[in-house]
């Protein structure tokens, strides 16, 4: 069961307190910089995690429509579209409402998930959404930090994310050529424990690093583990299937 830290109380709460009850994720993202994009990304992770746990979830965007750069950046990163809260009326009888907002942003009533800022190297201001050839690189760079930790985003961070993503996609394409094997129970438990613990994506990435190098795991099991984890991460890790030499 996903538990998140409510920024109002500092206490962990269940994101879906009622079994199979609808959870509404309401997003408050202002501006068109990478900080606003990170808010949308955290909301996307929250929606994906709830869905993986079998919880019906409804994502809506509060306030004015996002500027075009934020919309295009979100689309490039594979962030799922959100409904406009002005068009959804009083709701669909949801049993939980979770608000996702930037630190220091609006504080609506209800459970609140806050997102730390993104800043350029040596600068506290939020950088514009960078233009990268592969948007998965930016997504991985942002996922490499827990949502409560500020992200220093510069050339070095993007280069490291690029190298990791290229390596993982190449490895997944190679592993796919071997017979499929079940996801190791230890890997499955560690992945779920990580992402259900306040959306701890750095811990999820650490599990993948372990799976990549654990000598006792067959390649087919590595492939299935990465494909499973990518349902949350959204990094398109299977993109290069069929291209391995």
pLDDT 10s digits, 213-232:
999 999 999 999 999 999 99
- 240 in any annotated domain: no
170 and 140, same domain (yes or no): no
Let me know whether 131 and 165 are in one domain: no
Domain CATH for 170 = 1.20.120
Q: What is the DSSP letter of 78?
A: T
Q: What is the pLDDT of residue 127?
A: 86
Question: Do residues 78 and 139 make contact, with C-beta atoms less than 8 angstroms apart?
Answer: yes
Residue 244 falls within a domain, yes or no? no
What pTM does this model have? 0.93
Q: 87 and 181 share a domain?
A: no
Q: Which of 107, 137, 153 is a domain's end point?
A: 153
* In a shared domain, residues 84 and 21: yes
Q: Do residues 110 and 181 share a domain?
A: no
CA dihedral 188→190→193→198, nearest 10 degrees, is -120
Residues 165 and 83 in one domain: no
Quote the pLDDT of residue 16: 82
Residues 207 and 169 in one domain: yes
- Whether 74 and 180 share a structural domain: no
Reported as a single tens digit per residue, the pLDDT across 9-63 is 999 999 887 667 889 999 999 889 999 999 999 999 999 999 998 999 999 998 8
Q: Based on the fold, state whether residues 165 and 228 are members of the same structural domain.
A: yes
Report H helices in 53-197: 68-76, 135-143, 155-175, 185-195
Give the number of domains in the chain: 2
Residue span of the structural domain in which 173 resides: 160-233
Domain presence at residue 238: no
Which of 133, 153, 173 marks a domain boundary?
Answer: 153
Q: What is the pLDDT of residue 90?
A: 60
pLDDT confidence tier of residue 87, bands split at 50, 70 and 90:
low
Residues 218 and 188 in one domain: yes
What mean pLDDT, rounded, does the chain reach?
Answer: 91
Instruction: Provide the 3-class DSSP secondary structure of residue 207.
Output: helix
Distances (CA, A) of 223 to 9, 142, 170, 186, 209: 40, 23, 11, 15, 13
């Amino acid at each position: 069961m996903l538990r998140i830290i409510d920024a109002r109380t500092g206490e962990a709460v269940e994101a879906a307190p009622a079994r199979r009850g609808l959870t509404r994720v309401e997003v408050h993202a202002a501006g068109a910089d990478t900080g606003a994009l990170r808010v949308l990304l955290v909301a996307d992770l929250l929606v994906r995690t709830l869905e993986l746990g079998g919880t019906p979830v409804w994502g809506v965007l509060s306030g004015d429509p996002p500027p075009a750069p934020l919309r295009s950046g979100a689309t490039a990163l594979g962030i799922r579209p959100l409904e406009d809260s002005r068009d959804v009326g009083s709701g669909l009888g949801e049993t939980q409402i979770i608000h996702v907002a930037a630190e220091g942003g609006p504080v609506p009533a209800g459970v609140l998930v806050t997102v730390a800022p993104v800043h350029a190297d040596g600068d506290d201001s939020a950088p514009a959404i960078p233009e990268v050839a592969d948007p998965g690189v930016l997504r991985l760079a942002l996922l490499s930090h827990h949502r409560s930790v500020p992200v220093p985003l510069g050339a070095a961070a993007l280069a490291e994310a690029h190298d990791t993503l290229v390596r993982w996609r190449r490895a997944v394409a190679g592993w796919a050529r071997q017979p499929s094997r079940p996801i190791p129970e230890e890997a499955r438990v560690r992945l779920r424990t990580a992402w259900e613990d306040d959306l701890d994506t750095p811990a999820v990435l650490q599990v993948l690093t372990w799976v990549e190098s654990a000598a006792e795991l067959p390649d087919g099991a590595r492939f299935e583990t990465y494909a499973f984890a990518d349902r949350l991460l959204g990094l398109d890790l299977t993109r290069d299937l069929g291209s391995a030499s």
